[in-house]
Homo-oligomer: A and B are copies of this chain.
Amino acid sequence: MTFIDKLRSRWQSADSLLCVGLDPDPTRFPAHLRGRDDAIFAFCAAIADATAAYACAFKPQVAYFASARAEDQLESLIAHLQRSHPQVPVVLDAKRGDIGATAGHYAREAFERYGADAVTLSPFMGRDSIEPFMAYADRGIFVLCRTSNPGGDDLQMLEVDGERLYERVARLVAGNWNAGGQLGLVVGATYPAELARVRALVGELPLLVPGIGAQGGDVQASVHAGRTADGTGMLINSSRAILYAGSGENFAEAAASAARHTRDEINRHRRR
C-alpha cells in the first residue's frame, strides 16, 4: 500500500483531517515524566496513543529529537506508531534539501532508519533533490510551498513570470515533478487566500497545513480554502495546542480532548 493510499484510507476510516504534530519540548513535560531517560519517547507515545482515534496522521518533528540527542527515541517512537497504529501514516517533518548521494543518505535516514511513510522537503535545490526520495515508490513527500511564518514572504511571494514563486512551486510539484504520484505540498493555514489558490492549481494533491492553533490560523477559512470536492485532501496539523493541553498526570487525556475537539471543529466546516 502506498503512502497516498494509506492516507486516503485513513481520511475515510477515521473521518478526520487532523494531523497530530509531535514536537516534544521537555521543559513543558508533566513533572512526573521529567526525570526519565526515555521521557521524550514516553511523552510522545502517550500523546499518540490517546489521540490516534482522532488523527489522520502523526507528524514528528526531527529538530526536537536532534537538539536533545534523542534520535534513538525517535526510532522507538516511529516503531511504536507503526506497530500500535499501523493505519495512521507517519510524516517525518525534516525539511531536508540536498543533492545526489547526499540526498540519498537523507532518504535512507527518513525511510529506512526511521521507517516514516512520508517526509517534508524543501524545493530550493530543484527536482533532482527530490528524486532520491521518490525512488522509494511507496513513500510520500510533502514539498514546502507557502509557509506560515512572516518571513515566508521573502522568497515565496516574489513574482516570477506573472505568478508568485509559491504558485510556481505548486505547479511544478503537481506537474512534471510528480511522475510517481507521491507528492504533496506544505501550505500554511495563516494565508487562506493562498491556500485556496494552491488548491485551484493542484487538483486533488494532498496539502499538509500547519499554522492553526498556536500560530493563529483560522480553521474555518483553512478548511474552506483547502478541501477537495469530497471534503478531504488536507492534513491540518496541530502540535502545541494538543501536546500541552494539560500539564499534569492527565496530560494524555487532555490531549485527546483537544484533538477530538479540533477534529470535530474541522469536520463541522468540511461539510458546509
Interface size (A, Cβ < 8 Å)?
Answer: 51
Contact of A122 among B100, B124, B152, B168 (CB under 8 A): B124
19 pairs from A and B in contact (CB 8 Å cutoff): A63-B102, A63-B106, A66-B71, A67-B112, A95-B96, A95-B98, A97-B122, A97-B144, A124-B144, A124-B155, A124-B156, A125-B151, A126-B155, A129-B149, A155-B169, A158-B160, A158-B161, A158-B168, A165-B165
> How far in angstroms is the closest Cβ of chain B from A92?
12
The residues in A between 52 and 69 inclusive whose CB is less than 8 angstroms from any CB of B are 61, 63-64, 66-67, 69
Q: Which of A67, A69, A153, A172 has the most CB of B within 10 A?
A: A67
Q: Are A152 and B165 in contact (CB under 8 A)?
A: no
Q: Is the CB of B99 within 8 A of A97?
A: no
Q: Looking across the interface, which residue of chain B has its beta carbon closest to that of A108?
A: B67
B154-A105 in contact (CB<8A): no
